[in-house]
Amino acid sequence: MNTLKTTQIRPNPDNPRIIRDDKFRQLVQSLTDFPEMLEARPIVVDPDHMVLGGNMRLKACVEAKIPIVPVYVASWDEVKQKQFIIKDNIGFGEWDWDMLANEWDPSDLAEWGLDVWQPDDEVDMSVLDDIDDSRALDMTDNVRRAVQVFFEAEDYEEAAAIWSKLNKAQIYAGKHIIEAMKKAYEES
């Protein structure tokens, strides 16, 4: 494995991907806590030591005061270099959220930089303050049953207003949601 001083590596001014603020701080912390990750995934540079893959890792290494980093020197033509820069940053695949929810600790995932839903921090339940939830939630066998409906942040105010109007009109919104879900499923 080749290594270089961080001062010998040139950041790529044409890098189209950046990591900012909290995510960058998480990356710095990850490299500080677990520097062996760099050995498993070295910074990729061209023969002139300009970064092709790992610009943000290099920046985080500098921030974390890691003086020497593992590198892979790629002697590719310009077309392959450009292709690598993009392909290295594309997020192929998707998370299996059920597996993450059931088999991984959410606080570990959040600490490691994966955005996981934290209901205590993100959900404003005040819209439900004036709702008689005994009518809205089934109490069969003294067990509450409910369906959670997630909205994009920009749709929240509209959804809360509609929910409030339906509640005031004593219209059971759950039935309407189930019908809309059936229709969407049948159309898919």
Q: Once rounded to an integer, what is the mean pLDDT over residues 161-169?
A: 76
Residue 101 has pLDDT above 90, yes or no: no
Mapped onto helix, strand or coil, the DSSP state of residue 16 is coil
Per-residue pLDDT band for 171 (boundaries 50, 70, 90) equals: confident
The pLDDT value recorded for residue 124 is: 55
The pLDDT value recorded for residue 119 is: 52
Q: Which of the pair, 164 or 72, is modelled with greater confidence?
A: 72
pLDDT (tens digit, 9 = 90+) per residue, 61-99? 999 999 999 999 999 999 999 999 888 877 767 778 778
pLDDT (tens digit, 9 = 90+) per residue, 6-47? 999 999 988 888 888 888 998 999 999 999 999 999 999 999
| Segment holding 134, helix H or strand E | helix 133-136
For the chain, domain boundaries: 2-87, 114-187
The pLDDT value recorded for residue 132 is: 54
Radius of gyration of the chain (CA): 24
Phi, psi of 58, deg, nearest 5: -60, -50
d(Cα 97, Cα 103) in Å, to the nearest integer? 10
d(Cα 146, Cα 125) in Å, to the nearest integer? 14
64 within 8 A of 28, measured Cβ to Cβ? yes
Q: Tell me how far CA of residue 24 lies from CA of 56, 59, 64, 111, in angstroms.
A: 8, 9, 11, 13
| Residue-level length of the chain | 188
Q: The domain at 2-87 falls in which architecture?
A: Alpha-Beta Complex (3.90)
